[in-house]
Structure 1
């Protein structure tokens, strides 16, 4: 044995020996009023303040200490702390339920501990509380998770009223959106004006935009991890709301008190009812609505085993008379089993299903056909969380998923002018394994590092083609069912470090690599339900992104204020774009329309938040660039990506006027997206044709908007509670450009004029909310 290994082995032996002399107290932290597990609850030994740990995503904690008598303090934001003396002579279980703190003297909107941004090595993460979401004024008065995260630094809205978002220069499809661990492919209703997330059913929202933990994979830009409420296991209850265009209702209660519960939440718009008032028969027979349904149930089999079943069902329906019909929707399901092997080892096993599909029906005198597409995913996950000590915990696991895409084909009737087109399904399988370690070796340093291994297989059956530089078929091969067409293997290292300068400030640095094997093809700034999805193939290689970030974090005034500044640089490989004349829809050779190149994104993010008090809120500013380079576009020169937006500012304020009245406001300003406009026009055969030069060489006009809101709570007392929420979207009626288009002047065809289409002016809203 080489001598230089001896110090390392000796240190490891002493490390393990020291923790072998300790005993462990573990358990689950819950809300006493409804039995919901409390994610991130703080558990500390008062006699050793530095020994604190946090509950994991399922409310489970594990804390180790030498044998002795201690006072254990368990606390969580918005709850009264619980203190209990224990004689810790052997491993013991301590499950605790915390009472909510309903005092209004110090309103707190934060979702996490005031110290977490200083102490945790995790970078680029935002945890959003439902209190924040409920108070932020939004379009039509509907509380919206996705509209709220667009107000954070590094997160840009995809467009006016749109629920799509860009994170640190990435595209919409480079965001992994999870609902109870299930992948959501299109997280929007009504073409993006609403999100699929009904806030009544949501418990916890985490957005990772840098330094992603190793348990997440499959996307380059971010992870939005949304968890549904478990349901009240203490008593039955109902709450909901009635708005101008939508209503919602949630029912929850115990299956067996203190053992199991259920939650059922539904929402539906009724804009289609207003169409019935029209005297135009075509409008009268049209439809326009969406609905969604969230369901969840859980049951604690015993102290160490709990099972969960959750699902989401959502659908949009648009139709004009009997001539045009368009519907799309998501279905997800998650079956989960939590098992506690010991006071230090926690396990979560999940079987997950995701489904997204759309249908377009067109029927007139000449055409009668349907376009349909579908994407399905089945995923088996096994995650372990090992609490080695108060300063060291390890996560590891496996993830096996199978994905099938049914591309958009055409099914036409015999008398239609359109021919039917059947495009072969594509199937892929991914196997991933990961391990990560959060370690705090000394008081000033903490680390979070790990590795994710990803293997992707493209599977038959089908005919698989290759294409030359001109897009012509260069060759094709037939593969049988289950045969491997091509495979890719990628290693994804993740590393974050935190150095505490003092009790109030710290510096963090991170590096992470992510890969992506599912790609969305779109030529608009925001995604549509009809945008095509493709898998990595013999032509399309996995997208790869390497991101480095550096940040400074500081708390002020007894942790009432928190400030952060982060800078990042992201290098992207195998980026996908389309040729200038590309046809992306119902095209069996769509891969021939694609080009492949590089990308880079870099920026500065500033964030100042007031966490507590009658006045709270935050200010965020992002300075960023996102660029792409393809040999076939702009003569191989770098150009601004569609989501490139240089400046983005959001100011959010919430003020508690009294015990019953609260007001809020949001101001947004950003520079316009990069866009391709014609640089001129020419005439061929007497017909004018636009002339385009460079891709995304122009800018949309700057965007700014002020939203206002107010909430009136019912008088305190009694079980029945209600409130009125009033809102004004775009309070000063700014006509922001949704589209800039060009046309010939009616009086002089030689003159070309630009014109602006504004989507929304001032929009008032009112919603009555109730709970009992």
Structure 2
């Protein structure tokens, strides 16, 4: 009841204020922007007034827009990449509702792929006008043209080709952004947090592109509606489903296939989409006597439905279910997966005020077991969230677009719990916590050439009862605190201000600057560079403090040749507090009896760098070149003699070259080349023998490097002329065309040819990986 009352009071206040300020002069022109062909609501569409080009707005995440205009007749210019620009005449005598329909057209839909780059802005000069920094939007439609591992188009693999975003390893979907660890990225699917966004140990991501409508990545300077992570936000939205006609599309590849069905439930009023994907390597294993009992597959399922209650209210229900299953007969089994569900209520409260209320569920869990000679060992863990969000968008005139709201999340984290005959059973109690936040953010067009985006987020994290919390100082037990279930423990409060500004120097260039503070209360403990399903999530506690990052950044953008070429450069410096690392000699393998917090040390970090990207956005040849020069370090008492040392994710150089060439309407070719400095690692400097066992000796933390990584991929796409109902295409590609044996890991073993010494043994995953995929749609 308190939430409903707060929503009602806030809505009434905003309506009254907007009425007093603006009703005397202007009237509202508002509505939703949709795809004429399938009824999908369109995000980020530019609506401009022809009679006054200085007046323009961008449709929000749910396709809603609002303008304030005096009485009169106007021509609205509506534009969005991949659609035909058109003008809508509107007569303003009073507040006016005007829905807008964008049309791609059959021929334009085919040819739009020639004129778009895979990563594009909202419009061609959006990089010169938007105050938002470090943001890229991924075109789902064109991802399929890029060469990828096993022929699976992938949003997460695509963003790793952008500056400041670094891959965590060969075939891995994990990534780091501006010196942040993998867990410092907030990954959202229809507002639900995805805690492990990878399949098959990272060779695939959880995102089936057939089910997606939009994806954007924000590198640190996120608006105030986002919070809970230090480094980035990857915001992925699923399709709503075609509300005009039924469609089926899918693809058949070498090791996986996918199928999507969408259509109206009630024509032009409600719709659905169901999209599934599965690998079938296990089917080939069953054909052999030696491996017929082994398991190796994943599946995922995306579901979404929406219902338009009336012209101002719409309900959405979406869900994701995914699971990985690995097994070697009766000796080894591992499975992990995500479940998310989102129930949303969109409401147009007035011509200027838009509301979105969401109830969100997220669950990630894993189970691991080993059996040998009648001995068994099992490991399991889970993180579960219940999340309530209330967001408002207030179009307070043509110069202000204000977002404000609140969020409340109830976390249940079950730490890694061991069981079995080979070890003592150590069931762990779930740990409960309550995370809350309120925020306000304004996108303000301060002057003709100056745009400012500023906001404030206030976050609160409370430790809840149900377990005993130990207090450690430098890894040494200093006390404990028992909280009864339902009791409120320590609460951490943090204010998170943020501001970015864009000043347009002239028609072709602009400069930007920004500052943001972010805090994080959920932490992933990992002892590997690439990440494993059994990495453990923990929450802020009496010992573990909230991580805090302060980032400043400056940028310069310039467009050439009528905005068809684009150059963007940004520099940044990030200072981080309460960073977490394992102490030297930490016992973390199967020692779940000990409190993992006893193996942790805390300190500070810093990251700084230069990011460059040059794009060619039109013509038969499109693509981009991105380069990052960066440094990431940690300084933690008790590690490396209390001196600065390289973070494991530190890479000095990172380069990506991406190109797509449209030969004709049927054939297109693409290629990419990537190069990066190897990750920082700790190699042994010597060894000694104790009780006939060889023991390696180490010195400085992360003072060595893996070998440099580079590869080239090529792809060809053939799209024969289809009929009005059926369209098919073939994709042919080769991953790692020149067969580079990149290092996945390096192990050190006794050297049989020279007793008393050891040797380095490199493991490489892929040399040449061909792929053939057939895609269809009808």
Does the alignment reach a TM-score above 0.5? yes
Q: Which runs of 5 or more structure 1 residues have no equivalent in the other structure?
A: 1-12
Deviation at 1:648, TM superposition (A): 0.2
CA distance in 2: counterparts of 1:509 and 1:670, whole angstroms:
27
Moved more, 746-755 or 287-296: 746-755
Q: Does 1:48 align with 2:56?
A: no
Moved more, 131-140 or 580-589: 580-589
1:192-211 mapped onto 2 (5 Å cutoff): 192-211=202-221
- What is the aligned counterpart of 1:358 among 353, 361, 366? 366
Report the secondary structure of 1:503's partner residue.
Answer: coil
Deviation at 1:76, TM superposition (A): 1.4
Deviation at 1:365, TM superposition (A): 2.0
Instruction: Tell me what 1:567 maps to.
Output: 571
Q: Does 1:450 align with 2:460?
A: no
Moved more, 421-430 or 565-574: 421-430
Q: Does 1:607 align with 2:613?
A: yes
Q: Does 1:553 align with 2:572?
A: no
Deviation at 1:687, TM superposition (A): 3.2
CA distance in 2: counterparts of 1:460 and 1:247, whole angstroms:
46
- The alignment of Structure 1 onto Structure 2 pairs a total of residues equal to 754
Q: Does 1:475 align with 2:479?
A: yes
Contact 2:463/2:540, CA 8 A, preserved across alignment = yes
CA distance in 2: counterparts of 1:408 and 1:112, whole angstroms:
44
Deviation at 1:347, TM superposition (A): 0.4
Q: Which 4+ runs in 1 deviate beyond 3 A?
A: 13-20
Q: Does 1:71 align with 2:71?
A: no
Instruction: Tell me what 2:323 maps to.
Output: 315
CA distance in 1: counterparts of 2:153 and 2:88, whole angstroms:
38
Deviation at 1:561, TM superposition (A): 1.0
Deviation at 1:210, TM superposition (A): 2.8
Deviation at 1:743, TM superposition (A): 2.0
CA distance in 2: counterparts of 1:506 and 1:16, whole angstroms:
35
- Normalising to structure 2: TM-score of the pair? 0.95
Report the secondary structure of 1:389's partner residue.
Answer: coil
- What is the aligned counterpart of 1:330 among 320, 327, 338? 338
CA distance in 2: counterparts of 1:277 and 1:257, whole angstroms:
46
Q: Does 1:619 align with 2:625?
A: yes
Contact 1:230/1:298, CA 8 A, preserved across alignment = yes
Deviation at 1:15, TM superposition (A): 13
Instruction: Tell me what 2:298 maps to.
Output: 290
Q: Does 1:747 align with 2:753?
A: yes
CA distance in 1: counterparts of 2:369 and 2:761, whole angstroms:
32
Listed one character per residue, the Cα deviations across residues 172-195 of structure 1 (whole Å, up to 9, x for unaligned) are: 000000000000000000011100
Report the secondary structure of 1:333's partner residue.
Answer: strand
- What is the aligned counterpart of 2:398 among 355, 376, 390? 390
Deviation at 1:588, TM superposition (A): 4.2
1:646-725 mapped onto 2 (5 Å cutoff): 646-725=652-731
Deviation at 1:740, TM superposition (A): 1.5
Instruction: Tell me what 2:263 maps to.
Output: 253
Deviation at 1:555, TM superposition (A): 1.0
Instruction: Tell me what 1:99 maps to.
Output: 103
Instruction: Tell me what 2:515 maps to.
Output: 511
Deviation at 1:16, TM superposition (A): 7.3
CA distance in 1: counterparts of 2:423 and 2:684, whole angstroms:
31
| 1:148–1:336 distance in 2 versus 1, CA, 3 Å | same
Contact 1:111/1:129, CA 8 A, preserved across alignment = no
Q: Does 1:583 align with 2:604?
A: no
CA distance in 1: counterparts of 2:698 and 2:121, whole angstroms:
48
CA-based RMSD of the aligned residues comes to 1.5
Listed one character per residue, the Cα deviations across residues 99-152 of structure 1 (whole Å, up to 9, x for unaligned) are: 114332752233521121110100010111013322111100000111000000
- What is the aligned counterpart of 1:424 among 429, 444, 452? 429
Moved more, 354-363 or 174-183: 354-363
Instruction: Tell me what 2:6 maps to.
Output: none
| 1:249–1:14 distance in 2 versus 1, CA, 3 Å | closer
Instruction: Tell me what 1:7 maps to.
Output: none
CA distance in 1: counterparts of 2:695 and 2:331, whole angstroms:
31
Instruction: Tell me what 2:599 maps to.
Output: 593
Q: Does 1:62 align with 2:66?
A: yes
Report the secondary structure of 2:115's partner residue.
Answer: coil
Instruction: Tell me what 1:9 maps to.
Output: none
- Normalising to structure 1: TM-score of the pair? 0.96
- What is the aligned counterpart of 1:139 among 145, 149, 152? 149
Instruction: Tell me what 1:214 maps to.
Output: 224
Report the secondary structure of 1:20's partner residue.
Answer: coil
Listed one character per residue, the Cα deviations across residues 291-338 of structure 1 (whole Å, up to 9, x for unaligned) are: 000000011111100100000000000000111111000000000000
Listed one character per residue, the Cα deviations across residues 572-625 of structure 1 (whole Å, up to 9, x for unaligned) are: 000000012213352441101000000000000000111111110110000000
Q: Does 1:29 align with 2:37?
A: no
Listed one character per residue, the Cα deviations across residues 619-640 of structure 1 (whole Å, up to 9, x for unaligned) are: 0000000000011000000000
Deviation at 1:370, TM superposition (A): 2.5
Contact 2:18/2:396, CA 8 A, preserved across alignment = no
Listed one character per residue, the Cα deviations across residues 435-458 of structure 1 (whole Å, up to 9, x for unaligned) are: 011111210111000000001100
1:398-417 mapped onto 2 (5 Å cutoff): 398-412=406-420, 416-417=421-422
Q: Which runs of 5 or more structure 2 residues have no equivalent in the other structure?
A: 1-16
Contact 1:423/1:588, CA 8 A, preserved across alignment = no
Contact 1:19/1:389, CA 8 A, preserved across alignment = no
